[in-house]
Amino acid sequence: MNKQKRTEIFKRLKQINPNPTTELEYASAFELLIAVILSAQATDVGVNKATFRLFKVADTPQKMFDLGLETLKDYIKTIGLFNSKAKNVIKTCQILVEKHNSVVPDNRKDLEALPGVGRKTANVVLNTFFGQPTMAVDTHIFRVSKRTKLAHGKDVLQIEKSLVRLIPKEYLMDAHHWLILHGRYICKARKPNCKECIIEDLCEYNKKIL
């Protein structure tokens, strides 16, 4: 895909959604971090239902650590993999309190040192809260990138690096949100809704496999 096509794609995505953001609900860097940790292999809707109750009683690392493992599990038991996620959250809260004065780090190295925080989670926090032009590649973005030919790569890291390099700089800050929303609601995994796609004429997806 050439630069002109890529620019036009993001120009159109911006026109219909000028200020995209995550669908996770949060009020601080800490709440966003916890929500993203919980969102692995879970829906944002499901995470929001759990955190709506959780953040009312524990909106700081200390408060959440003080809940204890079993109580935390009770709050997030509706979320997939809640047992392992609860353990990671408790450990993360302890590290935030003891090493970071309860402040969420604004750099990749310290974020990825937290239990349950991988590159994708770190990228989401860095981009969404700290305003850094990172690209958190999930299954939706990976799929959209491959189908449209926006980027090439065998794995999420290759796709991430390709997108960061190829997306026009003026669109890079919000590109993560545009692509994930497009993949979630239009360019779906099993049956992409090409008829309602605003970039269908620019997409290089092979229509024969629809």
**Which residues are catalytically annotated?**
120, 138
Q: Would you tell me how many other CB atoms lie within 10 Å of the CB of residue 39?
A: 24
CA dihedral of residues 125, 129, 130, 133 (deg, nearest 10):
70
Q: Answer positive or negative: Cα dihedral of 9, 13, 15, 19.
A: negative
Q: Position 15: which residue type?
A: Q
Give the separation between CA 154 and CA 78, rounded to whole angstroms.
Answer: 33
